[in-house]
Amino acid sequence: MSDDGEIRIVEIDEDSPERLDSFLAERLSISRSRVAQLLEAGEITVNEKRPKKRDHPSKGDRIEVRFPAPAPSPLTPEAIDLNVVFEDEDLLVIDKRPGMVVHPAPGHRSGTMVNALLHAVDDLSGIGGVLRPGIVHRLDKDTSGLLIVAKHDEAHRRLADALRERKIRRRYLTLVWGRIAEDELRIDRPIGRDPAHRKKMAVVDDGRSAVTHIRRLERLRAADLLTAELETGRTHQIRVHLRSIGHPVVGDAAYADGWERGFSGPERPWARELAMRTPRQFLHSEMLRFDHPRTGVTQHFESPLPEDLADVLEWAHTGSSRLS
């Protein structure tokens, strides 16, 4: 795209049952909200006249769509180190370190992954008319590991569609309190805002559908090492689902605070030591698998357990013998 933007011409060869906004979103691989923005700004004409989004394209119509050059992001680029696992003209895969907020929000206007990407990536084409990266899915501040970032609208829309259609595999490694009875478990419980604690999420009857697949890798003295694979992607989903079955994530200050005090006998000192040694929630996005939005070629990425959590697991395997 040039500094003056881009013009796309769509010629209609048959009547369409779809509304104009839906038709153009599909044909141009952009969001309906982006189409609405362009319509509102007068950047879309049908036969040289301004249409309405509820109009239907008809045979013989000539649609002209003008994409202005993306506006500068209101966010400040910052020279922050990023672990870029993969990058091409369409997307990046980032291995996020713990402690980094993904997107600016109240209380975190700088030092985020988006601020870092604005500095590090020099070929962003913009998302929604703004020169910014497209975050396809997020990780909590204290969750580490792999996530996908789109560079332009088309890649962002296709990846978001794939995520919604459950075509992107996301697997996490986690350590949870207690012993799960089953080796494999499918948790299907709706998640919504916790009515008693508005900053938390919870399993609630009127929540959004949420499904997590659990597989135990190893039993430890008072904890299990698991993989958790997301079928859906609700806020705090893995953490809330594991708490809901009585096995919250070790080190999770929001959903497992003080959980180690519930153990008794020889497990109690082990659990207290484990809690003390775990610096954050033991949750790491270890695997991503998805089809490339342009080529369709399957992409597969894995991330090793970062040093802080690897040290915790090593103690759980070896150092804990001193507490026997």
Q: Which long-range contacts (CB under 8 A, 24 or more apart) does 259-265 make?
A: 259/177, 260/177, 260/222, 263/222
What are the tens digits of pLDDT across the range 75-128? Answer: 788 999 999 999 999 999 999 999 999 877 766 678 899 899 988 888 776 666
- Exposed/middle/buried for residue 89 (C-beta within 10 Å: 0-12, 13-18, 19+): exposed
**Which is catalytic among the residues 61, 90, 140, 153?**
140
Residue 152: per-residue pLDDT: 87
Categorise residue 29: left if φ over 0, alpha if ψ from -120 to 50, beta otherwise.
left
Give dist(CA 20, CA 54) in Å, integer: 6
Determine the length of the chain. 324
- The percentage of residues in the chain with a pLDDT greater than 70, rounded to a whole number, is 92
Average confidence (pLDDT) over 304-312? 97
291 given a catalytic annotation: no
pLDDT at 323 over 60: no
pLDDT at 32 over 60: yes
Residue 312: per-residue pLDDT: 97
Token representation of residue 204: 């609630």
